[in-house]
Structures are given as structure tokens and as C-alpha cells.
Amino acid sequence: MKKERPFSELIPFLPPNTFEEVIQYFQNHTIHLTLTRERKSVLGDYRHPTRDAPYHRISVNATLHQYSFLITLLHELAHMLVFIQYQGKVMPHGSEWKNQFQKMLIPYVGKNFFPKDIEAALIRYLNNPKASTCTDTHLYKALYRYNHNKEGWTLLEDLALGSHFKIENGHCYQLLEKRRSRYRCQELKSEKMYLFPSIYEVYPLDL
């Protein structure tokens, strides 16, 4: 059985001076928050109450830095509030969720909770919030700069055309040309062509 912990243990995961604002959601609703190990495909998750689990369940990757953690937590809390209001009768990331997420993010803008580059990208993102911060190129790049990144790894767009790189599975490529928000790359072994997003994380090679 999982042990319940005090709200104050959230403080190290959040940007300074944001705890009092965030904790109100937990005081007003019954929420089971789980901090998980890193998940590649998802940063956070929300599950509504069921007969067997009559409470809101939210999980957030504990490996996120403070700024990503706060944005991800608010993202999932927005899902909770939309479910409470509409009981699952609207799209998960439809206009109702977008409006709710915007309302929840606005109080954190203009108060020095975020570095200037993240705040600028966040303001732009607020015009039309995406289902994931990973799909908003500007916000993802701003947040990425504050990650505890693996040594030597960087974003594909930071490489010069003609550069060589490898990806996490060990396959090696050459960066050939930019096509809008994606890059055309050739795998060295098979010589097949692939398109990678500009924000794909890669390891530069010196061949």
C-alpha cells in the first residue's frame, strides 16, 4: 500500500513561490498524485474517479525540471476540472480544456516564476495550447534548455547541414536538408531517407 505524504513534499518539484497557488487544487479536490520515473511517451496523466478508485488520479514524471513539472501538473489538473464540469462529454483536448488550461496558466505569467525565454514561449503557447508541450516547438525548445540533459546530446536543429549524428537506438545518420519544421536525413548503413522533427534529440558524431 502506498504511503500518503504531506503536500509540502511538492515544494522542491515546483518553481519558487508557486506552491501556495498550486496546493489550492489539492485542498479543494480529492487527488491522488503519483510522481513516476521518466516515461518517454508521456509527461503526465489524468484518470477520473471510478467505482473502485473514487478519487482523481494524476501522475507526473518526477524527473522533469521545475518549470516543466509545473506546466505538466497544471495540464493534468485542467483535465480534472474539465471532467468535473462535463463528465467526459467533451474531447480531451478540445476547446473546453484549452480554455481551462489558459485560465490556470495565466496567473503564473508576469510574476517571474519562469525565466524570460520560457515565459515568452509560454505566452505564445497560450494563444492555442497543444495536447502536449512537446508538440509546440517554441515552448519545447525553451523548456529543453533547462533539462538535465544527457551529456553531449542536443537538438537536431542545432547541427549544421552535412553533420552526422546518432539517435538513442544507435542508428547513425547524416543531416541533409531542412524541410519546414523537419529535416531530411540519410541513415548511413541502409542509405534510406528519413524525416526527423527539428526538436529531435541527437548525439553529434565526428566522422
pLDDT value, residue 161: 96
Q: What is the mean pLDDT of residues 74-84?
A: 96
Looking up cell 488520479, which residue turns up?
57
Average pLDDT of the residues of the chain: 91
Grid coordinates representing 92 are 480531451
- Give the whole-number percent of the chain exceeding pLDDT 70: 96
Higher pLDDT pick, 147 / 66: 66
- Give the whole-number percent of the chain exceeding pLDDT 90: 77
Selection from 79, 113, 69, 71 nearest residue 99 by Cα: 79
pLDDT value, residue 114: 97
Q: What is the mean pLDDT of residues 143-147?
A: 89
Residues 6+ apart with CB under 8 A from 102: 126, 129
pLDDT value, residue 135: 78
Rg, Å, the chain Cα set: 19
CA distance 35 to 58: 9
The model's pTM: 0.85
pLDDT at 1 over 60: no
97-127 per-position pLDDT tens digit: 999 999 999 999 999 999 999 999 999 999 8
**Residue 192's CB: how many other CB atoms inside 10 A?**
10
Residue 91 to residues 29, 78, 84, 131: CA-CA distances in angstroms?
22, 13, 14, 11
Amino acid at residue number 158: D
pLDDT value, residue 150: 77
8-67 per-position pLDDT tens digit: 899 999 999 999 999 999 999 999 999 988 776 688 999 999 999 999 999 999 999 999
In this prediction, residue 2 has a pLDDT band, given cuts at 50, 70 and 90, of low
Grid coordinates representing 180 are 519546414
CA pseudo-torsion sign 130, 182, 144, 56: positive
CA distance 103 to 150: 34
